[in-house]
Structure 1
Amino acid sequence: MKIPLMMAVILLASTLGAGAASAKPPLKDVAHVRDGIIHVGMAYEISEKCGDIRARLFRGIGFLQSLRGHAAQLGYSSDEIDAYINNAAEKDRLEAIARARLAALGVIDGREATYCAVGRAQIAANTRVGWLLR
């Protein structure tokens, strides 16, 4: 089912954006976490727009949990992580980045074949996005 993965993406994206203590950069500036969320969003978008490709739900949830764990290892509290994940503006920003990256790869909004082509290419190249798809 695709809805739980998107909810997980929204939750994680919102949590990771809130401000952190002054000694740490904001979670939105932690490349591993930010880019991981973007990759999940890209995979989700492909799985929603291409009928032949599905998201690897458990792999995606596990990956999102690993991003949460990474943030915790960097010293971010659960409250800081949750604040980032629940930040609506950050969620919108990350979705826009994911869609721009998909467009740069050749996706044309409204054209399923382009989502499928990009998805298959990502799977074949075993990119992070492809790893989240089947």
Structure 2
Amino acid sequence: MKKTIAAMMVMLAAVGLAGNLSAQASLKDEPAVRNGIIQVGMAYEISRQCGDIRARTLRGIGYLQSLRTTARDLGYTDAEIDAFIDDKEEKRRLENMARAQLADLGAVAGEPDSYCTVGHAQIAANTRVGWLLR
């Protein structure tokens, strides 16, 4: 699971949710951006663990771009956003938060069916995580 969440973080950087920190508060403290990244990571992990569920890749890329716009609208520069995404400690923190949220929802490492159960529930509830899945 650690590798897949790490892969998700690399994917975030690759699609351009990238930039450096100095505006007001630290970008890691911006809930709209932080929570969005965690939700993308959760959806990605569910899609990797559950054979019945697929990630909506184009929808995910569009959502990541909207997070970049959100960060810009909050006053962060591309350099500040890049520094946030490139921060290895922050990646680990976000990975742990995504894992904890999945566990809280009932996902159990090594038990793919538990990820399917969580994923189907997220899709049925039309949550942000569910919106990123099919």
TM-score, normalisation: structure 2: 0.88
Structure 2 Cα separation of the partners of residues 127 and 89 of structure 1: 28
Structure 1 Cα separation of the partners of residues 58 and 76 of structure 2: 24
Kindly indicate whether the alpha-carbon contact (under 8 Å) linking 1:72 and 1:78 is maintained by their aligned counterparts in 2: yes
Aligned counterparts, 1:25-104, within 5 A: 25-104=25-104
Structure 2 Cα separation of the partners of residues 10 and 96 of structure 1: 18
Kindly indicate whether the alpha-carbon contact (under 8 Å) linking 2:47 and 2:53 is maintained by their aligned counterparts in 1: yes
Kindly indicate whether the alpha-carbon contact (under 8 Å) linking 1:10 and 1:91 is maintained by their aligned counterparts in 2: no
Once the two structures are TM-superposed, the CA of residue 8 in structure 1 deviates from its matched residue by: 2.5
| Equivalent residues, number | 128
Change (3 A) 1:95 1:10: farther
Aligned counterparts, 1:3-22, within 5 A: 6=8, 7-10=10-13, 15=18, 19-21=21-23
Provide runs of 4+ in structure 1 moved above 4 Å: none
Residue-by-residue CA offset, 1:24-59 (whole Å, 9 max, x unaligned)? 110000000000000000000000000110100000
Change (3 A) 1:100 1:11: farther
Once the two structures are TM-superposed, the CA of residue 19 in structure 1 deviates from its matched residue by: 3.3
TM-score, normalisation: structure 1: 0.88
Unaligned runs of 5+ in 2: none
Once the two structures are TM-superposed, the CA of residue 74 in structure 1 deviates from its matched residue by: 1.1
CA RMSD for the aligned pairs? 2.1
Once the two structures are TM-superposed, the CA of residue 15 in structure 1 deviates from its matched residue by: 4.0
Query: Equivalent residue of 1:118, what SS?
Result: helix
